[in-house]
């Protein structure tokens, strides 16, 4: 996954692109580059590193020109180095191109182009597209870039969102194309943009046109046109969003993640305002429900399956990438896909696999690919999430799931509950200091607290690089207990509910083998057994069904503070990216 952006208009293209790339960095942040054209002269600057560092070092914003493209990379083909950073060019430095996705037949294309004399500067699959266009321009009678661009797309297998232009084009114009990778046009006054995601363009417009698979868009100073691959003009709907540019800023916090954790008290209300009527009525009609998702969204899905199960319904949560190996859904199966980005390739593949089934999508991103596949879409309304670690989108996913199951009235206290739990931060910081040097940390829980344990463990390992596992308490004795020795931290998610009696036994089991117990609880006996304890609200002041919301907040804060204590940037953990558009 990578982020791409293009700009044509009256402003300095390099400034707009550099600013936009900062918002796309969550999609990949190992290298960055910008290419602009000015009076038919090309200027490409790129290197490995993050947007802020590279753009300062190479002085991106001093590049003249009102048209250009930019890219932030998450390496798939070729290591992390300047040569592999995008944009790429052809032999003549005429065709300029940036790409998000994977070209599956790139080896064959590269061999063919090499045999025709093309010389490559990088190891990427992207560069071959620039050379392919160059080759097709040679072969076209008119040497038309437009014609060669369309012809080249037909030879590409795999996924792509492309931004491209030709320095010697007959007019100033940018070309974009999408297949299984997101791409949205931003329509401003006398200026146009296109990018992988909306926040990169919010400063300039609130009007957007999401492209569909197989679309090619051409942007000029006077407007845009969208075509199908066979060159026929097609019309695509414009939409407006009510997100503000400020929503995509850090708002005084040092990291997006801290802001996003704190923002949960507001966004949960936005989420609960979402209309779930159609989804609820579909769910009521089916006896067999499959929930598919990845990572954090999978944990929300797992919670959904526990809650539907409690109601006597048959619902199973599947990790999206495994789904096709496990079951064969049929027309009597309702498939619910949960994806913050709505672009996760594993989820989209699983949805496509569930041919003939009715599909509900629960997502945060208006215009995302998942919304074009599902029969019914519920938006979680969490606002843009920039930190790689999902936080507010998890609670908002839970908000939607709870609303579907319990209705909104019972959830009205959620915002103040989250606010109350944010106040545990002082205690959380103390625990973070005690845990920062740990090599292994375990989480235990039972029942519907288990998805929270999984999520807390994922959050911790993702941004602190500490090895962490989560187990249902009953599983400890079936293997993991052998890993417990003097001082190994066990975080027990132990609210005073139907799971406590048995979980208390598991806590004692671990403690007697030397574990350091950190508990989240409102039970005095558990507090006494604990080395550290985060207090959950008294039983008298909380509806027990809301415990998951109360528990996840300090656990997100814990991961965040351990990460910061270890000198890691929690917004950009190594090897990860926010939107995973490759399988
Ligand atoms: C969690 O912090 C991660 N960012 C990751 O597990 C994420 O939830 C997963 O990649 C799924 O993304 P999606 O919700 O956009 O489909």
Domain ranges of the chain: 3-247, 250-412, 423-570
What pLDDT, on a 0 to 100 scale, did the predictor assign at position 29?
77
What's the mean pLDDT in 250-258? 87
Query: 388 in ligand 1 pocket by Cβ < 6 Å?
Result: yes
Query: 445 in ligand 1 pocket by Cβ < 6 Å?
Result: no
DSSP 8-state code for residue 8: E
Query: 260 in ligand 1 pocket by Cβ < 6 Å?
Result: no
For residue 295, which atom of ligand 1 is closest to its CA?
6
Of 68, 15, 91, 414, the closest CA to residue 219 belongs to 68
Query: 205 in ligand 1 pocket by Cβ < 6 Å?
Result: no
CA of 485 to the centre of ligand 1 (A): 32
Distance between CA atoms of 279 and 362, rounded to whole angstroms? 9
CA of 452 to the centre of ligand 1 (A): 15
Query: 582 in ligand 1 pocket by Cβ < 6 Å?
Result: no
91 classed as catalytic: no
Distance between CA atoms of 37 and 52, rounded to whole angstroms? 22
Query: Higher pLDDT residue, 141 or 314?
Result: 314
User: Of all protein residues, whose CA lies closest to atom 10 belonging to ligand 1?
Assistant: 295
What pLDDT, on a 0 to 100 scale, did the predictor assign at position 320?
97
For residue 344, which atom of ligand 1 is closest to its CA?
16
What pLDDT, in 10s, does the model give residues 394-428? 999 999 999 999 999 989 999 999 999 999 999 99
Asked if CATH classification 3.90.650.10 holds for the domain at 3-247, the reply, yes or no, is no
Distance between CA atoms of 1 and 200, rounded to whole angstroms? 16
- CB count in 10 Å sphere of residue 311: 10
Distance between CA atoms of 500 and 481, rounded to whole angstroms? 19
Given the structure tokens 């929270």, which residue do they identify?
452
2 classed as catalytic: yes
Task: Name 366's Cβ contacts closer than 8 Å, sequence gap at least 6.
Answer: 198, 210, 239, 241, 379
Query: 340 in ligand 1 pocket by Cβ < 6 Å?
Result: yes
CA of 296 to the centre of ligand 1 (A): 5
3-state SS assignment for residue 244: coil
Nearest-5° Cα angle at 308, 302 to 310: 105
pLDDT over threshold 80, residue 170? yes
Strands 95-103 and 158-166: antiparallel
Strands 288-293 and 314-319: parallel
Distance between CA atoms of 19 and 16, rounded to whole angstroms? 5
CATH fold of 423-570 reads: Rossmann fold (3.40.50)
Distance between CA atoms of 354 and 329, rounded to whole angstroms? 6
Residue 555, phi then psi, degrees to nearest 5 = -75, -35
Percent of the chain whose pLDDT exceeds 70? 100
For residue 296, which atom of ligand 1 is closest to its CA?
8
Query: Could you tell which of 291, 292, 295, 349 is best to mutate to test the pocket of ligand 1, judged by most ligand atoms within 8 Å of the CB?
Result: 295
Distance between CA atoms of 4 and 97, rounded to whole angstroms? 10
pLDDT band at 101 (very low <50, low <70, confident <90, very high): confident
What pLDDT, on a 0 to 100 scale, did the predictor assign at position 129?
98
Tokens encoding 229 = 């691959």
pLDDT band at 333 (very low <50, low <70, confident <90, very high): very high
pLDDT band at 158 (very low <50, low <70, confident <90, very high): confident
Distance between CA atoms of 86 and 128, rounded to whole angstroms? 12
Which helix (H) or strand (E) element contains residue 334?
A: strand 333-339
* DSSP annotation string for 43-79: EEEEEES-HHHHHHHTTGGG---SEEEEEEE--SSS-
Average pLDDT, the chain: 94
What pLDDT, on a 0 to 100 scale, did the predictor assign at position 247?
72
What pLDDT, on a 0 to 100 scale, did the predictor assign at position 579?
72
CATH hierarchy code of domain 250-412: 3.40.50.10490
3-state SS assignment for residue 115: helix
CATH topology identical between 3-247 and 423-570: no
Query: 580 in ligand 1 pocket by Cβ < 6 Å?
Result: yes
pLDDT band at 248 (very low <50, low <70, confident <90, very high): confident
Distance between CA atoms of 14 and 60, rounded to whole angstroms? 6
pLDDT band at 77 (very low <50, low <70, confident <90, very high): confident
For residue 393, which atom of ligand 1 is closest to its CA?
14
For residue 391, which atom of ligand 1 is closest to its CA?
2
pLDDT band at 570 (very low <50, low <70, confident <90, very high): very high
Percent of the chain whose pLDDT exceeds 90? 84
pLDDT band at 366 (very low <50, low <70, confident <90, very high): confident
What pLDDT, in 10s, does the model give residues 45-68? 999 999 999 999 999 999 999 999
The answer to whether 98 and 52 are in contact (CB under 8 A) is no
Distance between CA atoms of 317 and 95, rounded to whole angstroms? 46
């Amino acid at each position: 996954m990578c982020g791409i952006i293009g700009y044509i208009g009256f402003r300095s293209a390099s400034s707009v692109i550099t600013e936009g790339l900062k918002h796309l960095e969550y999609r990949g942040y190992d290298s960055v580059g910008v290419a602009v054209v000015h009076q038919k002269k090309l200027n490409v600057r790129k290197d490995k590193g993050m947007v802020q560092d590279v753009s300062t070092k190479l002085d991106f914003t001093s590049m003249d020109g009102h048209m250009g493209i930019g890219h932030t990379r998450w390496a798939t083909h070729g290591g992390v180095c300047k040569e592999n950073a995008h944009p790429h060019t052809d032999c003549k430095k005429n065709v300029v191109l940036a790409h998000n996705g994977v070209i599956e037949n790139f080896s064959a294309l590269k061999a063919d182009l090499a045999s025709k004399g093309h010389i490559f500067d990088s190891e990427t699959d992207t560069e071959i597209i620039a050379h392919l266009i160059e080759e097709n321009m040679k072969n076209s009678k008119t040497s038309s870039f437009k014609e060669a661009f369309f012809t080249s797309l037909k030879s590409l297998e795999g996924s792509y969102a492309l931004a491209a232009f030709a320095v010697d084009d007959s007019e100033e114009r940018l070309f974009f194309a999408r297949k299984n990778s997101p791409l949205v046009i931003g329509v401003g006054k006398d200026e146009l943009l296109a990018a992988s995601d909306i926040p990169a363009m919010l400063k300039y417009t609130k009007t957007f046109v999401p492209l569909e698979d197989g679309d090619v868009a051409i942007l000029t100073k006077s407007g845009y046109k969208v075509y199908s691959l066979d060159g026929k003009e097609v019309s695509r709907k414009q939409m407006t969003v009510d997100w503000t540019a400020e929503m995509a800023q850090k708002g005084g916090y040092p990291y997006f993640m801290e802001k996003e954790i704190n923002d949960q008290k507001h966004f949960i209300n936005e989420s609960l305002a979402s209309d779930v009527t159609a989804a609820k009525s579909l769910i009521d009609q089916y006896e067999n429900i499959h929930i598919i998702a990845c990572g954090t969204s999978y944990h929300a899905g797992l919670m959904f399956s526990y809650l539907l199960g409690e109601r006597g319904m048959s619902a199973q949560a599947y990790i999206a990438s495994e789904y096709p190996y496990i079951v064969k859904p049929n027309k009597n199966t309702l498939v619910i896909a949960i994806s913050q980005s709505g672009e996760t390739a594993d989820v989209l593949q699983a949805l496509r696999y569930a041919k003939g089934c009715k599909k509900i999508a629960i997502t945060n991103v208006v215009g995302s690919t998942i919304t074009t596949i599902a029969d019914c879409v519920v938006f979680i309304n969490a606002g843009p999430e920039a930190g790689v670690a999902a936080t507010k989108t998890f609670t908002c996913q839970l908000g939607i799931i709870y609303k579907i199951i319990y209705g909104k009235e019972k959830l009205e206290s959620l915002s103040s509950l989250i606010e109350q739990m944010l106040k545990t931060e002082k205690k959380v910081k103390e625990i973070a200091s005690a845990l920062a040097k740990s090599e292994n940390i375990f989480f235990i829980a039972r029942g519907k607290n288990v998805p929270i344990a999984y999520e807390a463990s994922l959050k911790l390992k993702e941004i602190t690089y500490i090895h962490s596992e989560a187990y249902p308490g009953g599983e400890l004795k079936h293997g993991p207990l052998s890993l417990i020795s003097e001082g190994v931290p066990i975080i027990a998610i132990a609210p005073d509910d139907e799971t406590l009696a048995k979980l208390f036994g598991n806590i004692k089991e671990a403690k007697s083998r030397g574990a350091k117990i950190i508990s989240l609880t409102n039970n005095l006996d558990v507090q006494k057994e604990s080395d550290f304890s985060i207090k959950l609200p008294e039983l008298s002041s909380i509806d027990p069904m809301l415990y998951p919301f109360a528990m996840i907040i300090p656990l997100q804060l814990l991961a965040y503070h351990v990460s910061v204590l270890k000198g890691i940037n929690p917004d950009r953990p190594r090897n990860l990216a926010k939107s995973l558009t490759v399988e």
